[in-house]
């Protein structure tokens, strides 16, 4: 069964089409990355999949349940980590998890064991009795991931989980996220605008202006760029250029006294290249394409890093979700 199955989903806010006819499939047990710049439609999509918003058209199924027709079943199947923290800062880490366990009717005799296991998993067991307001941003985010797992969901949604964290905390959080499918039997749907983070995802969709403009594994997407770039400096560029062009049957360019060519498996070409023009080689370097390059190619723009601030829309979604949970 698919963890997530979305077909022709759209969401309009008045004249704005926030999500524009998107389709995607997330197989069970995988990590799916939803990438795009600010305002692309990522949070709106998550809100629809989490049953906080209804779509204008199209369908979405989570673990086989229809988001429009079976919202309570969907809600039981998912965990959510919102873009902005929703922890209760005046409770301890342990109390935050307990509170969530009660909300989701986790069996009393299982609560303690589960919460202890999760606190160990995120490396916060020793801090379990500290108030959350004393925690760093990274610790809070890890605790939110743990909270999202307390009721054993089938799918965990993470909206910009590493936003605002320092590089070290981001790296640490990633160590936990990549282990989730195996250790917690959960599929992960996460958004980010840090392209390099998406490298660990099994599959990716790039969204821009509400439309999915590319999907595939990180390797597949990077392949569309035509492969690696090999840069060579030699003592005799003129003859080296001819030699390399004959060797690989490609066009070799020259810029700033450096020759360069594109190759699908650049690393495998280097030994041959050195064999052929060995004596004149001064240096060789290989540049692998990044997901940033993919985004640049698809949109003609760099993904923006600067303006990812929290907004009222997100805060309102959280309040709405809490209200729904309370009624639930």
- The site for ligand ADP (CB under 6 A) is made up of 13, 16, 18, 36, 38-44, 313
Closer residue to ligand ADP (CB): 36 or 138: 36
Residues that bind Mg ion (CB under 5 A): 42-43
Minimum Å gap between C-beta 71 and ligand ADP is: 18
| 8 Å CB contact between 191 and 46 | yes
The binder of 41, among ligand ADP, Mg ion, none, by C-beta within 5 to 8 A per type, is ligand ADP
Element (H, E) at 207: strand 203-208
Element (H, E) at 34: strand 31-35
For residue 5, which phi and psi values (nearest 5 degrees)?
-140, 110
The binder of 50, among Mg ion, ligand ADP, none, by C-beta within 5 to 8 A per type, is none
For 296, which DSSP code? Answer: H
Minimum Å gap between C-beta 208 and ligand ADP is: 9
The residue whose two tokens read 């759209």 is 10
The binder of 80, among ligand ADP, Mg ion, none, by C-beta within 5 to 8 A per type, is none
Complete DSSP assignment for 62-131: ETTEETTT-HHHHHHHEEEE-SS----TTSBHHHHHHHHHHHTT--HHHHHHHHHHHHHHTT-GGGTTSB
The binder of 158, among ligand ADP, Mg ion, none, by C-beta within 5 to 8 A per type, is none
Which tokens is 261 given? 């060519």
Closer residue to ligand ADP (CB): 235 or 313: 313
Contacts of residue 31, defined as CB under 8 A and 6 or more positions apart, other chains included, come to 177, 178, 180, 181, 187, 188, 190, 200, 201, 202
Minimum Å gap between C-beta 13 and ligand ADP is: 3
The binder of 13, among ligand ADP, Mg ion, none, by C-beta within 5 to 8 A per type, is ligand ADP
Closer residue to ligand ADP (CB): 239 or 309: 309
Residue 113: how many other CB atoms lie within 10 Å:
9
Give the closest residue to 31 by CA, choosing from 142, 166, 184, 146.
184
Minimum Å gap between C-beta 14 and ligand ADP is: 7
The binder of 16, among Mg ion, ligand ADP, none, by C-beta within 5 to 8 A per type, is ligand ADP
Minimum Å gap between C-beta 211 and ligand ADP is: 12
Closer residue to ligand ADP (CB): 51 or 262: 51
Closer residue to ligand ADP (CB): 49 or 263: 49
Minimum Å gap between C-beta 80 and Mg ion is: 13
Closer residue to ligand ADP (CB): 81 or 277: 81
Minimum Å gap between C-beta 39 and Mg ion is: 8
For residue 225, which phi and psi values (nearest 5 degrees)?
-80, -5
- 304: exposed, middle or buried (C-beta count within 10 Å: 0-12, 13-18, 19+)? exposed
């Amino acid at each position: 069964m698919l963890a997530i199955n979305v077909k022709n989903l759209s969401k309009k806010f008045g004249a704005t089409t926030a999500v524009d006819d998107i389709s995607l499939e997330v197989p069970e047990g995988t990590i799916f990355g939803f990438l795009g710049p600010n305002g692309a439609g990522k949070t709106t999509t998550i809100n629809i999949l989490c049953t906080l918003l209804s779509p204008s058209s199209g369908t979405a199924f989570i673990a086989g349940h229809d988001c429009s027709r079976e919202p309570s079943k969907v809600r039981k199947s998912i965990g959510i980590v919102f873009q902005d923290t929703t922890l209760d800062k005046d409770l301890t880490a342990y109390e935050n998890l307990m509170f969530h366990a009660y909300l989701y009717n986790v069996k009393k005799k299982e609560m303690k064991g589960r919460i202890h296991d999760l606190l160990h998993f995120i490396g916060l067991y020793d801090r379990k009795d500290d108030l959350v307001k004393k925690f760093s941003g990274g610790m809070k985010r890890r605790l939110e991931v743990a909270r999202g797992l307390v009721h054993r969901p089938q799918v965990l949604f993470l909206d910009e989980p590493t936003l605002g964290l320092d590089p070290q905390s981001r790296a640490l959080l990633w160590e936990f996220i990549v282990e989730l499918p195996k250790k917690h039997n959960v599929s992960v749907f996460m958004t980010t605008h840090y392209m390099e983070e998406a490298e660990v995802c099994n599959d990716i969709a790039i969204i821009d202006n509400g439309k999915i403009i590319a999907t595939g594994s990180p390797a597949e997407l990077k392949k569309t760029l035509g492969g690696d770039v090999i840069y060579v400096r030699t003592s005799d560029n003129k003859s080296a250029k001819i030699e390399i062009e004959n060797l690989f049957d490609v066009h070799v360019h020259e810029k700033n006294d450096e020759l360069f060519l594109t190759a699908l498996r650049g690393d495998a070409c280097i030994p041959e290249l050195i064999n052929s023009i060995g004596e004149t080689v001064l240096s060789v370097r290989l540049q692998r394409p990044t997901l940033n390059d993919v985004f640049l190619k698809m949109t003609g723009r760099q993904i923006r890093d600067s303006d990812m601030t929290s907004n009222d829309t997100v805060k309102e979604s959280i309040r709405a979700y809490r209200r729904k949970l309370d009624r639930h």
